[in-house]
Structure 1
Amino acid sequence: MVKNTIETSKGLSGMLRMFKATMTEKLGLQPTHRIAFVGCSGTCVPFIELFAYTIRETMPGMILIPDGIIDDARGIWYVSGLGMQIGGNVDPHGADFVVVLGGISMPSCSLGIEGTNKVIKEVLKPGGKVIGVCFMDMFAKAGWEGKVPFDLVINANIDTVTLDKVE
């Protein structure tokens, strides 16, 4: 497998801008499209809401598939003054894009490569695209590259986290 870097940026805001540009400019996101986000319940959800917020003007149909459980797929929509909200059950089938969050590749999530590929195969329409979004090379470290059919992967590295006492 060969990786070719297309673009670089810095920080979470850079990652969010890159996601928006990738979806709208590079992949041609339209209001008629559907996006299924696959991530761990709890930890991936706030990030999914952030990514969804960046493309809210395009108004695609957005869906969360928590922990890859298709029967628990939830709608994601914009609420003015609040941001993105996750609500009732929806049918995730026929997605134009599946966005897989890196948390799903961590050992604490039981979905695994085979389960993720099954979800992708079941919900992605023919010709659809699979986008991976992760931190700290999670997909590479978990051995998912070349085993999950990613078309593109957005990866962010966290350099340093500090806790300072202010006196």
Structure 2
Amino acid sequence: MDSTQENPQILETSHGLSGMLRMFKATMTSQGMNPGDKIVFVGSAGTCVPFIELFAYTIRDSKAEMVLVPDGVLDDSRAIWWIPEIGMQIGGAVDPANADFVILLGGLSMPQSKIGAEGTNDVVKKILKPGGKVFGICFMDMFAKAGWYGKVPFDLVMDATIDPIRLQKLN
């Protein structure tokens, strides 16, 4: 692992869910997202899907093709699209190959995920087109804790901290 992987350079800081979503949209735009690009989100089935829908929502007007690959299982890939008055929806089977961007969610690096860094790299190699980019999105430094820096070819990683979490009784 090189020193840039061990001590990543902070490019931007934001706060809250809205800040994270704005950062994602701005990053996709600044990294060259164009109409017709294919953006493939790879994350854990169930837990990552609501976040994927939120991220996809921020770029819904981009005219990009969006795909979900749950748990890195390519045969289970599904289209993501905008339905007015409803939001982002996940549906029919689709081919994830030739992705301009692969967005890896931190759930893949959690201990209960079966794919691991090596399996994730296999998925990326199969679907990312030459010159495509790999972005990671995680919470609580999961990629670093799992030792993925230097093992997975991230171009950028967005890491969000959820702290503190409060449960309050008001009466």
Compute the TM-score of the two structures, normalised by the length of structure 2. Answer: 0.96
> How many Å separate the matches in 1 of 2:93 and 2:68?
9
1:158 is aligned to 2:162: yes
Write the deviation string for residues 40-91 of structure 1: whole angstroms up to 9, x where unpaired.
Answer: 0000000000000000011200000000000110000000001100001000
The residue aligned with 1:6 is 11
Write the deviation string for residues 74-109 of structure 1: whole angstroms up to 9, x where unpaired.
Answer: 000000001100001000000000000001100111
Q: 2:22 aligns with which of 14, 17, 42?
A: 17
1:137 is aligned to 2:137: no
SS where residue 6 of structure 1 aligns? Answer: coil
> How many Å separate the matches in 2 of 1:145 and 1:13?
26
Deviation at 1:128, TM superposition (A): 0.2
Alignment of 1:9-48 (within 5 A): 9-24=14-29, 26-48=30-52
SS where residue 17 of structure 1 aligns? Answer: helix
Alignment of 1:2-151 (within 5 A): 2=4, 3-24=8-29, 26-151=30-155
> How many Å separate the matches in 2 of 1:85 and 1:107?
28
> How many Å separate the matches in 2 of 1:116 and 1:39?
10
> How many Å separate the matches in 1 of 2:107 and 2:77?
17
> How many Å separate the matches in 2 of 1:66 and 1:107?
16
Q: Hey, which bits of structure 1, 4+ residues long, moved more than 4 A?
A: none
Matched to 1:101, the amino acid is L
**Unmatched 5+ stretches in structure 1:** none
SS where residue 36 of structure 1 aligns? Answer: strand
Deviation at 1:12, TM superposition (A): 1.1
> How many Å separate the matches in 2 of 1:6 and 1:163?
32
**Unmatched 5+ stretches in structure 2:** none
Deviation at 1:32, TM superposition (A): 1.3
Write the deviation string for residues 142-165 of structure 1: whole angstroms up to 9, x where unpaired.
Answer: 000110000000000111111111
Across the two proteins, how many residue pairs are aligned to each other?
Answer: 166
Matched to 1:9, the amino acid is S
> How many Å separate the matches in 2 of 1:59 and 1:77?
10
SS where residue 87 of structure 1 aligns? Answer: strand
